[in-house]
């Protein structure tokens, strides 16, 4: 049984095929096309995998999972960090037509439960090194809450019956891959979100594979590419823009790092002669600071291209990259929902420093809408509206939200405020969605507000962004309580509910009441101003 999702209309689907965007190949092709290649595909610490080894490991795991009864059309909840097993697991599941959600390693109980509720997974694949899975309590609870769940497979597990490493090492038998059809769901991508529960994005083989191939083309990835993946590897940016899957497609090498700190990454770059990496803006600031302190950019000599995306990059910071790091900058403005924009390698400095690039596909339709949904002229600031061969047509099982996130013609409204120049280049000007972008990590205000309101001492709560010199934005919770709360108490409460650390409010403000707009909604603009004034004063 195929997984349900909102399909592209037939006329567009036909057009995307005709133009060759949809190649009717499964994502498993990314590895099988290199199955005889003995070049190193992946390095994690002291572990190295050739393409041949990576492909064989994925096949062995696919066999092991199928042997235990996993079936095409089922789903998997996966949480692995920046480890080789993330890719082995992804390809293994794709080979047997099981669609995973790849949760981020920073995710905690609340996020994992929300994903499980939505996809009703048959299997959980996770890491004992994650606090949630260090003991069986959470696993047991997941099993109780999700009758669909039949199996847990764990990394760093001593019980061979459910050890991911043991599964990967089980001998292979005759295996014929049964990926889902190319125009069906391959896996679910995670939305940064703006709603109470984190939303899932069905991605098909056809649409995702196109976005990878086209990214590889634009960024010039090939067998000489040595890509350092130091941001969360499961994130859409790190996976597909062109990311690790782009590197694999092109036959280059991925080197994994656990975090983007300069102390970890600089030696890796030097040792592995890394020539391209992808960062979020705060990491760029820290790298520049580190270069300043070390008095040299020598460890980064091999670096040719630095991609920066996920959050707004200031022009000042952008200009420092070629000057101080000594490599080219590429801005990437993307979203797990689809549309990805790149500045091109041949662009002039003005475009590279001042814009967030242009859509990668000639058939990406992008226009700017005013608040009534009418098109605005070039240069005007308004809502980003888009559809195209790799932009989804609906969140998974979210009919109400989809009704407002898309217009009548299937254009997705990302919630970003942009201006579009005559030459097609986009500048991100702001945001309309109720989200905080904390240095590339997205926080849906409503999700945190709902959790705060579950506290019986809290009457009203509103989460807004406040400016931060390193992260761009941090979060501030305004709270109306039955009694005063200390910030540590609120944070402890949220941590105990279980949410990713980056979603914990950076600042808590107790107030008598929340300001309202004329129509009676919480006036977040006013709250943002209030906290800005306070920050200025302190």
Give the SS3 label for residue 185.
strand
Write out the residues near ligand DBH by the rule CB under 6 A. 236-237, 240-241, 309-310, 332, 334-336, 340
Q: How far is the CB of 211 from ligand AMP (least distance, A)?
A: 13
Residue 206's nearest CA partner among 183, 229, 173 is 183
> In the complex with ligand AMP, which residue's Cβ is closer, 60 or 214?
214
> In the complex with ligand AMP, which residue's Cβ is closer, 312 or 393?
312
> In the complex with ligand DBH, which residue's Cβ is closer, 100 or 309?
309
Q: Which among ligand AMP, ligand DBH, none contacts residue 356 (Cβ within 5 to 8 A by kind)?
A: ligand AMP
Task: Report the alpha-carbon angle 247-198-427, nearest 5.
Answer: 60
As a whole number of angstroms, the distance between CA 437 and CA 464 comes to 10
Bridge partners, residue 477, by sequence: 463, 508
Q: Which among ligand AMP, ligand DBH, none contacts residue 206 (Cβ within 5 to 8 A by kind)?
A: none
Give the SS3 label for residue 317.
helix
Q: How far is the CB of 392 from ligand DBH (least distance, A)?
A: 12
Write out the residues near ligand AMP by the rule CB under 6 A. 191-192, 236, 309-312, 331-336, 356, 414, 416, 428, 431, 437, 442
Q: Is the dihedral of CA 270, 224, 58, 49 positive or negative?
A: negative
Q: How far is the CB of 57 from ligand AMP (least distance, A)?
A: 29
Enclosing H/E stretch for 474? strand 472-481
As a whole number of angstroms, the distance between CA 271 and CA 46 comes to 12
Bridge partners, residue 472, by sequence: 468
Q: How far is the CB of 239 from ligand DBH (least distance, A)?
A: 8
As a whole number of angstroms, the distance between CA 519 and CA 109 comes to 35
> In the complex with ligand DBH, which residue's Cβ is closer, 154 or 428?
428
Task: Report the alpha-carbon angle 134-139-142, nearest 5.
Answer: 145
Q: Which residue is nearest to ligand AMP (CB)?
A: 192
Q: How far is the CB of 472 from ligand AMP (least distance, A)?
A: 9
Structure-token pair, residue 375? 């098109």
Q: Which among ligand AMP, ligand DBH, none contacts residue 340 (Cβ within 5 to 8 A by kind)?
A: ligand DBH
Q: How far is the CB of 410 from ligand AMP (least distance, A)?
A: 18
Q: How far is the CB of 162 from ligand AMP (least distance, A)?
A: 31
Q: If 0-12 CB within 10 Å is exposed, 13-18 middle and 19+ buried, where does residue 451 land?
A: buried
> In the complex with ligand DBH, which residue's Cβ is closer, 203 or 226?
203
Q: Which among ligand AMP, ligand DBH, none contacts residue 199 (Cβ within 5 to 8 A by kind)?
A: none
Q: Which among ligand AMP, ligand DBH, none contacts residue 26 (Cβ within 5 to 8 A by kind)?
A: none
Q: How far is the CB of 156 from ligand AMP (least distance, A)?
A: 28
State how far Cα 337 lies from the chain centre. Answer: 10
Strand order in the sheet with 338-342: 47-50, 40-44, 253-256, 226-229, 276-279, 305-309, 328-335, 338-342, 358-359
> Cβ of 329: how many Cβ atoms within 10 Å?
22
> In the complex with ligand DBH, which residue's Cβ is closer, 132 or 332?
332
Q: Which among ligand AMP, ligand DBH, none contacts residue 383 (Cβ within 5 to 8 A by kind)?
A: none
- Sequence-separated (6 or more) residues with CB below 8 Å from residue 47: 84
> In the complex with ligand AMP, which residue's Cβ is closer, 82 or 341?
341
> In the complex with ligand DBH, which residue's Cβ is closer, 114 or 340?
340
């Amino acid at each position: 049984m195929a997984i349900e999702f909102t399909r592209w209309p037939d006329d567009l689907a036909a057009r995307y095929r005709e133009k060759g965007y949809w190649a009717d190949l499964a994502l498993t092709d990314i590895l099988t096309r290199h199955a005889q290649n003995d070049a190193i595909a992946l390095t994690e610490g002291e572990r190295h995998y050739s393409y041949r080894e990576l492909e064989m490991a994925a096949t062995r795991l696919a066999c092991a999972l199928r042997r235990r009864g996993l079936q095409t059309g089922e789903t998997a909840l996966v949480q692995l960090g920046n480890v080789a097993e993330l890719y082995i697991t992804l390809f293994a599941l794709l080979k047997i037509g099981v669609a995973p959600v790849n949760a981020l390693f920073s995710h905690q109980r609340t996020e994992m439960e929300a994903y499980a509720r939505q996809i009703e997974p048959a299997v959980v694949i996770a890491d004992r090194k994650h606090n949630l899975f260090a003991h069986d309590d959470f696993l047991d609870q997941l099993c109780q809450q999700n009758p669909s769940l039949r199996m847990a497979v764990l990394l760093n597990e001593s019980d061979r019956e459910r050890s991911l490493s043991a599964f990967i090492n089980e001998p292979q038998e005759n295996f014929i891959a049964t990926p889902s059809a190319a125009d069906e769901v391959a896996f679910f991508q995670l939305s940064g979100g703006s709603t109470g529960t984190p939303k899932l994005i069905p991605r098909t083989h056809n649409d995702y594979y196109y976005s990878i191939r086209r990214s590889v083309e634009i960024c010039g990835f090939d067998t000489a590419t040595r890509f350092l993946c130091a941001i969360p590897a499961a994130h859409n940016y790190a996976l597909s823009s062109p990311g690790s899957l782009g590197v694999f497609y092109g036959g280059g090498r991925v080197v994994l790092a656990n975090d983007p700190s300069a102390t970890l990454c600089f030696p890796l770059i030097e040792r592995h002669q890394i020539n391209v990496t992808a960062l979020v803006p705060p990491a760029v600031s820290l790298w520049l600071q580190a270069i300043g302190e070390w008095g040299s950019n020598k460890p980064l000599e091999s670096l040719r291209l630095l991609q920066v995306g996920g959050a707004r990059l200031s022009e000042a910071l952008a200009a420092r990259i070629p000057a101080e790091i000594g490599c080219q900058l590429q801005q990437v403005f993307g979203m797990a929902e689809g549309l990805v924009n790149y500045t091109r390698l041949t662009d002039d400095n003005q475009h590279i420093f001042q814009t967030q690039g242009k859509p990668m596909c000639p058939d990406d339709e992008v226009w700017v809408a005013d608040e009534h949904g009418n098109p605005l002229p070039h240069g005007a600031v308004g809502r980003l509206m888009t559809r195209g061969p790799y932009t989804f047509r609906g969140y998974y099982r979210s009919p109400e939200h989809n009704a407002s996130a898309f217009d009548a013609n299937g254009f997705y409204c990302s919630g970003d405020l942009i201006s579009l120049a005559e030459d097609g280049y986009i500048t991100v000007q702001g945001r309309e969605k109720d989200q905080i972008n904390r240095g590339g990590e997205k926080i849906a205000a409503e999700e945190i507000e709902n959790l705060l309101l579950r506290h019986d001492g809290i009457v009203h709560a509103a989460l807004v962004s406040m400016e931060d010199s390193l992260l761009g934005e941090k979060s501030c919770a305004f709270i109306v309580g039955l009694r005063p709360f200390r910030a540590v108490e609120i944070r402890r409460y949220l941590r105990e509910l279980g949410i990713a650390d980056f979603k914990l409010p950076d600042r808590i403000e107790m107030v008598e009441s929340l300001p309202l707009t004329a129509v009676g909604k919480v006036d977040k603009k006013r709250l943002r101003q209030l906290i800005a004034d306070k920050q200025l004063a302190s």
